[in-house]
Amino acid sequence: MIDVNALQQYSLFGGVSPEQIEQIRPLLGSAHFETGECPQHEGEPNDKISFIISGEVDIVKKGVVIAHLREGETFGEMELLDIMPSIATVRATTPLEVVTISNRALYEISKRDLKTFSMLIMNLARDLSRRLRRMDELMCEDDGK
Protein backbone atom coordinates (compact mmCIF):
# COMPACT_ATOMS: atom_id res chain seq x y z
CA MET A 1 0.00 0.00 0.00
CA ILE A 2 1.13 3.53 -0.71
CA ASP A 3 2.65 5.50 2.14
CA VAL A 4 1.24 8.68 3.63
CA ASN A 5 4.01 10.93 2.27
CA ALA A 6 3.32 9.73 -1.27
CA LEU A 7 -0.40 10.50 -0.93
CA GLN A 8 0.35 14.02 0.28
CA GLN A 9 1.90 14.71 -3.15
CA TYR A 10 -1.59 14.62 -4.69
CA SER A 11 -3.69 17.78 -4.70
CA LEU A 12 -6.70 15.87 -3.40
CA PHE A 13 -4.88 15.45 -0.09
CA GLY A 14 -3.80 19.11 0.24
CA GLY A 15 -4.43 20.31 3.80
CA VAL A 16 -5.12 16.76 5.01
CA SER A 17 -2.81 15.80 7.87
CA PRO A 18 -0.72 12.61 7.88
CA GLU A 19 -2.87 11.38 10.77
CA GLN A 20 -6.06 11.94 8.77
CA ILE A 21 -4.58 10.15 5.75
CA GLU A 22 -3.53 7.26 7.97
CA GLN A 23 -7.16 6.95 9.14
CA ILE A 24 -8.52 6.68 5.59
CA ARG A 25 -5.71 4.57 4.14
CA PRO A 26 -7.54 1.27 4.88
CA LEU A 27 -10.39 2.50 2.65
CA LEU A 28 -8.13 2.89 -0.38
CA GLY A 29 -7.93 0.35 -3.16
CA SER A 30 -5.16 -0.39 -5.64
CA ALA A 31 -4.89 -1.86 -9.11
CA HIS A 32 -2.36 -2.72 -11.79
CA PHE A 33 -2.93 -2.51 -15.55
CA GLU A 34 -0.69 -3.56 -18.40
CA THR A 35 0.03 -1.37 -21.41
CA GLY A 36 -3.09 -1.15 -23.56
CA GLU A 37 -5.51 -2.11 -20.80
CA CYS A 38 -8.32 0.30 -19.95
CA PRO A 39 -9.16 0.89 -16.29
CA GLN A 40 -12.11 3.02 -17.38
CA HIS A 41 -14.30 2.82 -20.52
CA GLU A 42 -16.31 5.65 -22.06
CA GLY A 43 -20.02 5.19 -21.36
CA GLU A 44 -19.54 2.58 -18.61
CA PRO A 45 -20.10 3.06 -14.88
CA ASN A 46 -17.20 4.25 -12.75
CA ASP A 47 -17.41 4.92 -9.05
CA LYS A 48 -13.85 5.82 -8.13
CA ILE A 49 -11.08 8.33 -8.53
CA SER A 50 -7.68 6.87 -9.45
CA PHE A 51 -4.30 8.27 -8.48
CA ILE A 52 -1.50 7.35 -10.85
CA ILE A 53 1.32 5.97 -8.70
CA SER A 54 3.41 4.92 -11.66
CA GLY A 55 2.85 4.79 -15.39
CA GLU A 56 0.99 6.89 -17.93
CA VAL A 57 -2.45 6.91 -19.54
CA ASP A 58 -4.22 8.47 -22.49
CA ILE A 59 -7.68 9.89 -21.99
CA VAL A 60 -9.67 9.03 -25.11
CA LYS A 61 -13.03 10.57 -26.08
CA LYS A 62 -14.80 9.19 -29.16
CA GLY A 63 -11.52 7.73 -30.39
CA VAL A 64 -9.55 10.97 -29.98
CA VAL A 65 -6.79 11.34 -27.37
CA ILE A 66 -7.75 14.46 -25.42
CA ALA A 67 -5.18 14.24 -22.61
CA HIS A 68 -2.12 12.34 -21.48
CA LEU A 69 -1.67 11.83 -17.72
CA ARG A 70 1.39 10.73 -15.76
CA GLU A 71 2.45 9.76 -12.27
CA GLY A 72 1.05 12.22 -9.75
CA GLU A 73 -2.13 12.91 -11.72
CA THR A 74 -5.66 11.57 -11.29
CA PHE A 75 -8.63 10.44 -13.35
CA GLY A 76 -12.25 9.54 -12.62
CA GLU A 77 -13.09 12.66 -10.63
CA MET A 78 -16.19 13.59 -12.60
CA GLU A 79 -17.87 10.21 -12.26
CA LEU A 80 -17.09 10.10 -8.57
CA LEU A 81 -19.13 13.26 -8.03
CA ASP A 82 -21.96 13.06 -10.53
CA ILE A 83 -22.44 9.28 -10.64
CA MET A 84 -22.80 9.26 -14.42
CA PRO A 85 -21.14 6.90 -16.91
CA SER A 86 -17.50 7.56 -17.74
CA ILE A 87 -17.05 10.54 -20.00
CA ALA A 88 -13.96 9.02 -21.64
CA THR A 89 -11.86 5.89 -21.90
CA VAL A 90 -8.63 5.73 -19.93
CA ARG A 91 -5.99 3.59 -21.66
CA ALA A 92 -2.65 2.66 -20.09
CA THR A 93 0.24 3.63 -22.37
CA THR A 94 2.76 2.01 -20.01
CA PRO A 95 2.35 -0.46 -17.13
CA LEU A 96 0.14 1.37 -14.66
CA GLU A 97 -0.23 1.32 -10.88
CA VAL A 98 -3.10 3.25 -9.29
CA VAL A 99 -4.53 3.83 -5.86
CA THR A 100 -8.27 4.43 -5.76
CA ILE A 101 -10.94 5.96 -3.56
CA SER A 102 -14.43 4.71 -4.31
CA ASN A 103 -17.69 6.55 -3.85
CA ARG A 104 -18.49 4.12 -1.04
CA ALA A 105 -15.15 4.90 0.66
CA LEU A 106 -15.87 8.63 0.44
CA TYR A 107 -19.22 8.04 2.10
CA GLU A 108 -17.47 6.09 4.86
CA ILE A 109 -14.99 8.95 5.31
CA SER A 110 -17.92 11.38 5.64
CA LYS A 111 -19.33 9.27 8.47
CA ARG A 112 -15.98 8.87 10.25
CA ASP A 113 -14.48 12.34 9.91
CA LEU A 114 -16.51 15.17 8.39
CA LYS A 115 -13.51 17.55 8.45
CA THR A 116 -11.38 15.21 6.33
CA PHE A 117 -14.30 14.54 3.99
CA SER A 118 -14.92 18.26 3.55
CA MET A 119 -11.26 18.91 2.74
CA LEU A 120 -11.21 16.09 0.16
CA ILE A 121 -14.36 17.39 -1.54
CA MET A 122 -13.06 20.97 -1.55
CA ASN A 123 -9.78 19.80 -3.09
CA LEU A 124 -11.69 17.76 -5.65
CA ALA A 125 -13.76 20.82 -6.59
CA ARG A 126 -10.56 22.86 -6.99
CA ASP A 127 -9.03 20.21 -9.26
CA LEU A 128 -12.12 20.11 -11.44
CA SER A 129 -12.22 23.91 -11.57
CA ARG A 130 -8.60 24.00 -12.77
CA ARG A 131 -9.39 21.46 -15.47
CA LEU A 132 -12.43 23.44 -16.59
CA ARG A 133 -10.35 26.61 -16.79
CA ARG A 134 -7.76 24.76 -18.85
CA MET A 135 -10.43 23.48 -21.24
CA ASP A 136 -11.83 27.01 -21.56
CA GLU A 137 -8.35 28.26 -22.46
CA LEU A 138 -7.90 25.50 -25.04
CA MET A 139 -11.28 26.27 -26.59
CA CYS A 140 -10.38 29.95 -26.92
CA GLU A 141 -7.03 29.08 -28.50
CA ASP A 142 -8.80 26.92 -31.09
CA ASP A 143 -11.31 29.68 -31.86
CA GLY A 144 -8.53 32.15 -32.59
CA LYS A 145 -6.98 29.99 -35.35
Q: CATH number, domain at 95? A: 2.60.120.10
User: The domain containing residue 112 runs over which residues?
Assistant: 4-143
pLDDT band at 118, cuts 50/70/90? very high
- Is residue 5 predicted with pLDDT exceeding 90? no
Q: How confident is the model at residue 102 (pLDDT cuts 50, 70, 90)?
A: very high
Q: Domain tally for the chain?
A: 1
Beta bridge partners of 99: 30, 51
pLDDT at 20 over 80: yes
Going by pLDDT thresholds of 50, 70 and 90, the confidence category of residue 1 is low
Q: Above 80 in pLDDT, residue 142?
A: no
Dist. CA 20–CA 145, nearest whole Å: 48
What's the pTM value of the predicted model, to 2 decimals?
Answer: 0.84
Instruction: List, in sequence order, the alpha helices (H) in the chain.
Output: 4-7, 18-24, 77-82, 103-112, 114-143
Q: Across residues 90-118, what is the average pLDDT?
A: 95
Kind and range of the H or E run holding 52: strand 48-54
